[in-house]
Structure 1
Amino acid sequence: MTTARLAVVGDAAAIARIYNQGIEERVATFETEPRTAAQIAAQLADKGDRFPTVVVERDGVVVAWATAGPYRGRPAYAGVAEHSVYVDRAARGSGAGRVALEALFREYEARGFWKLVSRIFPENTASLVLHERAGFRVVGTYQRHGKLGVEWRDCVIVEKLLGDVAAR
């Protein structure tokens, strides 16, 4: 059975394991150094209730997670969050990413957010498809947005309106 729930500090090792797969594959993040469970636990504690992390479990094992953080510091953007979603390689294509995003939508809408945004490498076609199926729209592409090692990487910008704002 697949279920989503809010992450707790005890999930840090599983979240780090999945995130480190993304770092290793070099198609999901600009990060290059693996994260430890202690680093993830500290991040979970620092985020507090405003920016929760959700995990997806299948038969008691964490197979995906999603989180968000502030988009910008200006008050006008208080309801916009920039999110990430990561799926264990063994669970890709199983719907776990969609479950994670749907849980993230519920949690962030309940906290008054009206929009989620993300930046996705164009090579990460699985993430682009996941986001499209979850109702995100492509806004544009940042060209040469950052370097991953010595390579310039573009980022596709996606957004999804939540709640009442989406209904207008």
Structure 2
Amino acid sequence: MKIRLAVIEDIPSILVIYNEAVANTVATFDTVPRTLEQQEEWFAQHGDAYPVMVAEYNGIIAGWSSLNRYSDRQAYARTSELSLYIHPDYRGQGIGRQLLEVMLREGKEAGLHTVLSRIEESNEASLHLHRAYGFETVGTMREVGVKFGRLLNVVLMQKML
């Protein structure tokens, strides 16, 4: 497994993984799959301060992670929000741990101070992974999303780098 910075050629694979999560999970509250153009615009918003990493296994993108701008207000410039998605064929193999570890290091090197994660409260695997890397629960937002006909709660987690 190789964890590396994403390049533009990775966007179609990132999109496939993301859109699978849109269609089948509550890991994202998007309900409509993204287009390639939308994913390219998303990628363009990242850079040195907000990296996108991929996990490559035998030439296949098995997962990806990004640190995203939390807010366009300047006082939040050192705060980011984490995204982490694994292709369903590769879940449960430790790829998320590898990506998260590298992403936190990259974020610190980029000068970020705080990483936030919003996780749907039934996503025990993600909650456990975040706790294992020092994220703490700072609150629960009740019934803030609706997906698959269910009202969803979101746990807000935070880690200082």
**Length-normalised TM-score, structure 2:** 0.91
For the residue of structure 1 that corresponds to 2:71, the secondary structure is coil
Q: Take 1:147 and 1:60, find their aligned partners in 2: how far apart are those partners?
A: 36
Q: Take 2:45 and 2:157, find their aligned partners in 1: how far apart are those partners?
A: 26
Q: Relative to 1, partners in 2 of residues 1:38 and 1:76: Cα closer, same or farther, differing over 3 Å?
A: closer
1:11 Cα deviation from its structure 2 partner: 0.4
Alignment match, 1:92? 91
1:149 Cα deviation from its structure 2 partner: 6.0
Equivalent residues in 2 for 1:1-168, closer than 5 Å: 2-148=1-147, 150-162=149-161
For the residue of structure 2 that corresponds to 1:47, the secondary structure is coil
For the residue of structure 2 that corresponds to 1:102, the secondary structure is helix
Query: Residue by residue, what CA displacement relative to the aligned partner does 1:90-145 show, whole Å, maximum 9, x if unpaired?
Result: 11111111111112112211111011001100111111111112221112211112
Considering only aligned residues, what root-mean-square deviation do their CA atoms show, in Å? 1.6
Q: Take 1:25 and 1:91, find their aligned partners in 2: how far apart are those partners?
A: 15
For the residue of structure 1 that corresponds to 2:32, the secondary structure is coil
Q: Take 1:41 and 1:75, find their aligned partners in 2: how far apart are those partners?
A: 24
Query: Residue by residue, what CA displacement relative to the aligned partner does 1:45-64 show, whole Å, maximum 9, x if unpaired?
Result: 23233222111111221111
Percent of counterpart pairs with the same letter? 39
Q: How many residues are paired up?
A: 161
Q: Which amino acid aligns with 1:69?
A: N
Q: Does structure 1 retain, via aligned residues, the 8 Å contact 2:138–2:158?
A: yes
